[in-house]
Amino acid sequence: MAERKPISSWLTDMDGVLIHEGTPIPGADAFIKRLRDSGLPFLVLTNNSIYTARDLHARLKRMGLDVPVENIWTSALATAQFLDDQRPGGTAYVIGEAGLTTALHDIGYVLTDHDPDYVVLGETRTYSFEALTKAIRLINAGARFICTNPDETGPSAEGPLPATGSVAALITKATGKDPYFAGKPNPLMMRTGLNAIGAHSETSAMIGDRMDTDVLAGLEAGMQTFLVLTGLTAVADIDRYPYGPSHVVESIADLVDLIDLPDQVDQGKQALQADPR
């Protein structure tokens, strides 16, 4: 594994890293507390577009994880940022829930099924055949196809559920049009998140449990990557990929002591000034 470089900002996935099926993973509370005590910029990232950042703040707080709203970055927010950059004040037909519709309303988008600029597909608990049919017809009529994230399945207590990527594949099959995915592993989500907290990729780290989204996104954004083994990826899976994480750890608990507190940062600066080599 690569040598660990100094880290001045942290990005971490949520599901499989901090929580699992509504329960905090051991060490997650200590990790978040240490981050907040350090004063270092940080973000909790999720490809889940169902909830608003405020919703997620409340859900995490109920689990004992106090993450400020401004430190949560979702694929819905990344999608909204992308659309605002591409076509400010545009129109969209949306399949998704409050996390996505709120993000689009906040950038001034009009949600409509009449000749929209975009069809935007996000995650929802119930995909309606009628809504998918409408999306297919609008794309065939010229609407651009945007998707919040490519995850093909999501976790549940009963087992995997079909997720946004699987539904996007259905629409692609019917239209012949591939979507643009704004969420992980698109480095766009990482860059917009880093910009939101004023951080730089060269001195940032990404923590995740998935090789195909978290690690790949961090790698392509030029960040150090930490793979935790509390989610979807096992050690035996790593060699299946043509790329690897910078570091592999058992869980988020192993990373708490890597977060420098203010006095440690000051000591490091003093050491560099005393010995500038």
| Each residue's pLDDT tens digit, 135-192 | 999 999 999 999 999 999 876 777 778 899 999 999 999 999 999 999 999 999 999 9
Contact 65, 32 (CB under 8 A): yes
Report the catalytic residues: 13, 15
What pLDDT is recorded for position 153?
Answer: 84
Long-range CB pairs of 257-262 (<8 Å, 24+ gap) are: 258/4, 258/7, 259/7, 259/10, 259/31, 259/34, 259/35, 259/38, 259/40, 260/6, 260/7, 260/38, 260/40, 261/34, 261/37, 261/38, 262/38, 262/39
Radius of gyration for the chain, computed over Cα atoms and rounded to the nearest angstrom: 19
> How do residues 228-269 score in pLDDT, each as one tens digit?
999 989 999 999 999 999 999 999 999 999 998 876 545 444
Token pair for 173: 């099959």
Domains and CATH numbers, the chain: 9-47+185-274 (3.40.50.1000), 76-181 (3.40.50.1000)
Q: Which residue has the higher pLDDT, 41 or 270?
A: 41
Model confidence at 212, pLDDT cuts 50, 70, 90, reads very high
Cα(205)–Cα(67) distance, integer angstroms: 18
Token pair for 270: 């003093």
Model confidence at 201, pLDDT cuts 50, 70, 90, reads very high
